[in-house]
A and B are shown apart, each in its own frame.
Chain A
Amino acid sequence: MKLNPENTSQVEGPVLQFPEECEAPNNTLVKESLVGSNIKYLLLGSFFGIILTKAEIISWYRMQEMFRLQSFHMYGLIGSAVVVGITSVWLIKKFQIKTVYGEVVVFTRRTFSWGQVIGGTLFGCGWAITGACPGPLFAQLGSGFLAVSVTILSAIAGTWVYGRFSHRLPH
């Protein structure tokens, strides 16, 4: 989680900032209406869900292939997505491309936390079991695996339990 840089050198260790900021923040300054402004994210999300499903990223079997190094599919996918992402971010910075509302694009900086190691490994285990990261979980449900709703509820419970006990966990 977010560390306070001024406190990291103290003997007490890192101090957590509550309430912590959202890690996938909305940095826009314009006033957004509930439905009118957000409907475009529903559409973009739908495209995202179609891609996840059509590229079989929601497939439990594809994740097994990936973790067993028996298919290049997922590595090619993640690799090419990252290359396109890095290039687009570079272009946005280089040409100072503004948002459609004319705002400067804000990039969130991440700080290191042991959560990325411990939580990341726990998530990796869960990823292998469910065959899905959070995005594909929603697409699995949409594509007709209704029982996955239980997985999503359990993931919400996991998030809540983290929130409840986060101050006692090493970060």
Chain B
Amino acid sequence: MIEWISKPWPWYVAGPLIGLTVPALLLLGNKNLGISSSLRHICAACFPGKIPFFQYDWKHEVWNLFFVTGVLLGGFVAMHLISNPAPVDVAPETVADLAKLNIPVDGNLLPASLFSFENLLSTQGFFFFVVGGFMVGFGTRYAGGCTSGHTIMGLSTLQWPSLVASCCFMAGGFVMVHLLFPVLLKWL
């Protein structure tokens, strides 16, 4: 059992489990799945200023902050109690493509050489941490949701604007990986 659970979970196990968080949240307390909103609640709680966008009762939405704290703890549990001892398996075509960009496939979940504190103050670190993070925060709020709020929750309730958003998420990713990475990573 422990051995099976420690291995990477296949999509047909993990996907349906993720789908089940939608009814779980709805039935536990009429909550809508959406993780990027937690970033907005943090702004509203810590530095709302006089900005109208952050003037609302964030305490009413505090469940969302409990949820993301849980996600953080879940990452810890999965990594330390039921972690996969084998190196992360990456498709050979991807390994070859990344080699062209000088990004090593090192067996970790993230390339440790890129996502380390040592790399933080380099231009490369600035790109992967600061620019990337900013685009995630700005983009999700501008879009009104992220992969959980639009792609999972929005599509589950058949909201066509969420389908538009989800397609744009994918389009942005394709543009970044295929058009911008080859150019940008040469300079970083």
Interface residues of A (CB under 8 A from B): 1, 18-30, 32, 34, 37-61, 63-68, 70-74, 76-89, 91-92, 97-101, 103, 105-113, 115-135, 137-148, 150-164, 166-167, 169
Contact = CB atoms under 8 A, between A and B. Distances in A.
A167 to B, nearest CB: 8
A100 B29 CA distance: 7
Given A103-B30, A123-B138, A147-B117, 18 more contacts: A21-B56, A23-B149, A34-B62, A47-B74, A52-B74, A67-B176, A67-B177, A76-B11, A85-B22, A112-B164, A117-B168, A121-B175, A128-B181, A129-B127, A133-B140, A134-B39, A151-B136, A157-B134
The B interface, classified by DSSP as helix, strand, loop or mixed, is helix
B111 to A, nearest CB: 6
Contacts of A74: 11
B35 A147 contact: no
A139 B117 CA distance: 17
A124 B176 contact: yes
Contacts of A108: 32, 157
Given A82-B151, A127-B173, A163-B54, A116 B27 contact: no
B172 A122 contact: yes
B47 interface: yes
Report, as a range, how many residues of chain B touch the other chain: 35 or more
A125 B40 CA distance: 20
Contacts of A71: 91, 94
Contacts of B20: 84, 88
Contacts of A60: 109-111, 114-115
B168 A53 contact: no
Interface string B141-164: 111111111111111111111101
